[in-house]
Chain A
């Protein structure tokens, strides 16, 4: 009896240790069967669009879109209820005014703890069977969820749904976000970047730099322009900078362009120690030290909270912002929205929505489509969604995702940049030309296009579609990896670590993360 008690006590000691770490690991294995059967061939859509679905998102930019979609969806399908749960704090908006000019500064503070808490909560909810039906793929480690079988492959819903026609959407964008051959993520919109230049500064040098190439990387263009910049600025008191980027922003952009060479998610490997990462850090520092780049407008935000500088950002000086906005830069890296402004410089919206990367952008001309360092034309994708494999109302969840892709929702003002829906994208471009894109739907007039507007639309749509068709990659960066890289490189930029120390630290942390 004593022996039995002793053994039982030892077992309990061991169990208490293991239960500390795995006590919450009680999942809903009862759902396993349903997920298994769903993978079988001959999948059909079953059930009715009815009942309640929950959508969970962390990023505040999803909220207004989802609220609008939920309201419209519930009207379209009586008997359904869509609950939208947002977990991050909306940004702080500060405005300032001087001489009739208004400026709004929207600040979002990254909150790694809140982000980590959200990921923890989402995982816990999914495993306990209490998870949302649809998750916004904003900060969640989507590939880890796919590997664990927690996200539905939406391809089978797309195939099985006779109302869903893949050709209605920008298929290269949908294909670019596929993971291990499955459509686990559904993006609603996308954007691409273009490299621009100031023709008054570069003049004929632009031809040598861009040399008729349709797509180039920012690193290439910067390298080719430095020689010209040296000559151009030789006798100038105030040298013209290459681009309106601070070193942190420039590093971030160049790093993303080269992300694949540093991080290989599928093979769980990373390469920050080979020298190319330190070369990148040193190159950005050299650009900054030699005065080729400047602080961005956002870099002017001062940190409050006394000497420690840990408080909320303070408003920048108005004159300083104005001065920087009127500064000319040789080059620009601008989103596709700037294309319309460059093609239609007289439009009122041109002045309203100029890219913040360079205020002189309205004088810029298109140089080339921006590509990554491997020559791939990459898109940024927005508002991505995935369906929980454990969802108890998959039929309604799919219908909601499909609704988000419909002409009606894709034309929403809450859609960021270019809709993946072809009809909505064409309609949006037309509305942009007649300057009604940002007018509420009920106030829009059915304007006929003038011949001039039609010409602008043809040119604009031609560029958008041509460039969109060249997109062949989407790099979905991992938020954890990006946070490690940002944290360590900031230590490098503030002089607290050498490039080698930062690279080595990133290598060990990212390697650990990928191999867990």
Chain B
């Protein structure tokens, strides 16, 4: 009997601790998402009638949505692996460095600078009369309209990497620290080379970190929109029109049914991707 009460008390305490976050999540995530689902099922947000899955069907046929989706996937395909590779390389270099703390601090600086300030910097860097074109001009090359040409995607990949490498690097450093030293010592005793150690000890040991960083990168890749929007407005060059442009513009034109449908699809795709990666991590 006393055991039962102890367990009940422990559970109540646990629920008590969970309650504030549960309340916050319900108000700020679950309720808005439920409203989003409702909008997605109606043809108009005001005075509309039930439209079933029409908004989803229309969305799939919408050229702007498809372009945004395609560009977002291309952006992720380039930026996430590049970002993870650079962050891992930096972490491996800094792992045993004497200046680890200093460099960690330096790498974290981009995260604390407001997007508005960084946008100003990037504008000066990539503008038609900007710093980069000044350099090109000084060596006799013609200027490039970086943000309104085929190079625009590369620019936003650079911006994304600049902003996120530091954070990912810290996560990798933490992951590296969690790999037992004994594994490395055994490998050393067995005569394993650096590459073999990296492939068979470091990489498997970092698998959970990889999954977390991947998920964080997927989330952060949506946030690059802030910089892109500040640099190029609501309708940029076709090559950098992202899903977030579509959603932001849907919001501005008050097309909530389509916005809702797009949001649900993004949530579904992100959720499925996360499940697949977590399952893959478990198999490693």
Contact = CB atoms under 8 A, between A and B. Distances in A.
Interface in A268-308: 308
A16 B36 CA distance: 13
Given A22-B260, A24-B32, 7 more contacts: A14-B268, A17-B219, A17-B266, A23-B29, A29-B38, A148-B44, A480-B234
A170 B219 CA distance: 56
Interface of B: 25, 28-33, 35-36, 38-39, 44-48, 62-65, 67, 128-129, 145, 148, 215, 218-219, 222-223, 233-235, 237-238, 241, 244, 246-256, 259-260, 262-264, 266-268, 270-271, 274-275, 278
Contact of A516 (B46, B62, B129, B218): B62
Contact of A116 (B67, B129, B234, B278): B234
A150 interface: yes
Interface stretch (A90-98, A350-358, A359-367, A504-512): A504-512
A123 B67 CA distance: 25
Interface stretch (A32-40, A63-71, A176-184, A258-266): A32-40
Contacts of A141: 252-253
B47 A149 contact: yes
A72 interface: no
Contact of B64 (A35, A36, A512): A512
Contacts of B244: 21
B219 A13 contact: yes
B222 A27 contact: no
Interface in A101-125: 112, 116, 119-120, 123
Contact of A32 (B47, B255, B262, B263): B47
A26 B254 contact: no
Chain B interface secondary structure, helix, strand, loop or mixed?
helix
A24 B263 CA distance: 12
A19 B33 contact: yes
A205 interface: no
B62 A22 contact: no
A15 B29 contact: yes
A18 B33 contact: yes
B278 A10 contact: yes
B231 to A, nearest CB: 12
Contacts of A126: 254
A395 B234 CA distance: 36
Given A16-B219, A512-B241, A505 B255 contact: no
A384 interface: no
6 contacts: A15-B29, A308-B129, A512-B235, A513-B235, A515-B63, A516-B62
A433 B24 CA distance: 69
Contacts of B255: 144, 147-148, 516
Chain A interface secondary structure, helix, strand, loop or mixed?
helix
B253 A516 contact: yes
Contacts of A144: 253-255
A496 interface: yes
A6 interface: yes
Contacts of B38: 29
B228 to A, nearest CB: 14
A508 B238 contact: yes
Interface centre among A14, A19, A23, A120 (most CB of B within 10 A): A14
A12 B33 CA distance: 11
A449 interface: no
Contacts of A32: 45-48
Contact of B33 (A22, A36, A496): A22
B240 to A, nearest CB: 12
Interface in A137-151: 141, 144-145, 147-150
A511 B48 CA distance: 27
Nearest to B255: A148
Given A18-B266, A25-B35, A12 B254 contact: no
B232 to A, nearest CB: 10
Nearest to A10: B274
Contacts of A16: 29, 219
A123 B259 contact: no
Given A127-B45, A515-B63, A148 B263 contact: no
Nearest to A113: B233
Interface residues of A, number: 54
Nearest to B218: A17
A390 B45 CA distance: 11
A121 to B, nearest CB: 10
Contacts of A35: 46-47
Contacts of A508: 237-238
Contacts of B248: 21
Contacts of A509: 235, 238
B202 to A, nearest CB: 26
Contacts of A29: 38, 45-46
B274 A25 contact: no
A11 B278 CA distance: 13
Contact of A18 (B223, B250, B264): B264
Interface string A439-483: 000000000000000000000000000000000000000001000
Given A20-B222, A21-B262, A150 B29 contact: no
B75 to A, nearest CB: 15
A13 B31 CA distance: 15
Given A16-B29, A24-B251, A10 B46 contact: no
A26 B32 contact: yes
A496 B247 contact: no
Nearest to B234: A116
Nearest to B229: A116
A410 interface: no
Interface centre among B233, B254, B260 (most CB of A within 10 A): B254
Contacts of B238: 508-509, 512
Nearest to A514: B64
A127 B145 CA distance: 38
A141 B275 CA distance: 41
Contacts of A308: 129
Interface in A19-77: 19-27, 29, 31-33, 35-36, 39
B247 A22 contact: yes
B278 A150 contact: no
Contacts of A148: 44-46, 253-256
Interface centre among A18, A149, A516 (most CB of B within 10 A): A516
A516 B254 contact: no
A515 B235 CA distance: 12
A146 to B, nearest CB: 11
Interface centre among A10, A18, A513, A515 (most CB of B within 10 A): A18
A18 B278 contact: no
A257 interface: no
A12 B25 contact: yes
B46 A21 contact: no
A25 B260 contact: yes
B148 A505 contact: yes
